[in-house]
Structure 1
């Protein structure tokens, strides 16, 4: 029996080496990933007409710093590279090329703005670089067939329009609706979703719609025209600067419609308070995340983690800015995907994991709102809950409403 011992030891050693070799072989990297680092690229409008959204990028950077302080993701530290595009599509293309060809990031995460994302979408898909968790709600950012390297995060704007339609059909079926919308995919998609949701009642209920360009210094003339239509319901699908102007002009005209503000500009700190807290009373919107300043969430475990994060990593950030809540939730989702990816940090596997989210609920999501994706579903969030601005905060009401769109 002792004569066989060397062979046994040799066999055990061989098996051990084989297992170790297999474990090492499982580590796979594309540009932007290594044993020690994961490079994440980002594009934000830190300047320009949509600069109010730039805080989202600052919060994301802070969140990744917290993750690094906790040891990183599977032992790897995140290197977050974020550039300003000033909400300019041509600048976004320049920054995307820099991130991919110079910085060699693994993914371009949460680039913000419909025009900018549309401008870089084809390039990133040709390069097979994930354009992951896009910070814009245009429907084609979830078109998995045409753009398999692009995935949405927030609810598509068509879903938002459908949800407003469901609400109005139930609560005000005789509404005469006027819509002010930004002349890009933000505005056009919400309007399409609204029309689709109203169905055969759309022609009777939708009495006026006017578009505006983001470069227009004021939208006052559009609001005047929409009031003249005789509408008793006003939907403002605007970015922050124009949203503020819209609220003020409606008040100045003495118009008293049922006022719905698109969720892209439902921020208390960057829209409602600058417009005027008193004249913003009663405005409706819909959202999928908790209001960071609402005391009803003080004992919520997820929001307690959010508050602790702000206190340590972003003490100057305002809790009532939806872009602050947004940045935290998006970053938390990105971290979840990278955790699922394990040691296979190829771009293809990152996309595979992003398309494998099952009932994932970031700390900041409203109860009942969960992120689900699949190989044929690139819209993680398709639910909203209606809310009304009262006092100094949003008050949620009614059920969580689904606005799923046909794929």
Structure 2
């Protein structure tokens, strides 16, 4: 079985190549990949090369397939798993494996297992961990976005609060509390807003900060304060670059109470330090955005930690339950992962997009791996439609869904490029 894949040989060395996959073993599964959403974590991997904790040291001679936010269809099942999985089944997968203490994960560590390809081989540990899951959703892109949504959901579940009566930790963000998402108008932040409005520990208020008016304007369109109000949550977007004193102005929103849950969605020292200052009594700060600098640090107030029970933690990835929750909520229409997507492209666009990810404006870049297509902003479909009727139809379809990518658009693009499912 031949596959075409984006393979990594070292620091900033990505190559789109075609090669032969080995025959699967009795405890492996062959899969056809349809979608992979490109993650900033892959950019960090590409920048660090062999220095990354998940990267194998022999990647120069045994290159790894990049991409870990992927979904598709099972093609062939090894004997060991034939009672659980069948050819033709759609799947979602959880890349945070943690198999017997190993950090190996698809998209970081495996020669024949990753998302930026036409076909790949699932190794036995994925099924043993329950990380390969049948998926019944309407669209593949939502299953791809289940992985980043599971990271967001994991952050909400992992936050905790204490009390002075016993040593029990109340897990999750504080019900009826104040949440602030610092740097929250990027793709992951939008997912966090969407989930926070629907989380079982419903907050009273969610404040979202950014320093870019265009990002804030788009955020207000796709996750509006009106929508949040309908669900009993006050949603406030603020541009902190327009504030004279960000700390004072953000505290005023809570009438001086502070924020019970602080999520730091951008790895900037000043932002982390601001988040620490904004914590209410027993407030929990989740440093969510992973830095590339291994020595990244910030000043924290240990006086408040001691006397007002503030605490700091970090989360990365989600678990299987988080992924199941993400896919279930998306399938029911309770959350809309499409709020994250601003660009769509084909397999030939993945390497260049990954290498330049921080420089490309907008949110998530979604790749369909079974065809070639430049990475294209959804907002550019109308202009392209002046010469190409296909993009004109895609534009109409997306505009009918608040300008968002959607299941109907996915069906249109797969049909246009003759992709068989």
Shorter-chain TM band: 0.3 to 0.5
TM-score (norm: length of structure 1) = 0.36
Give 1 or 2: higher helix fraction. Answer: 1
The higher radius of gyration belongs to 1
Give 1 or 2: higher strand fraction. Answer: 2
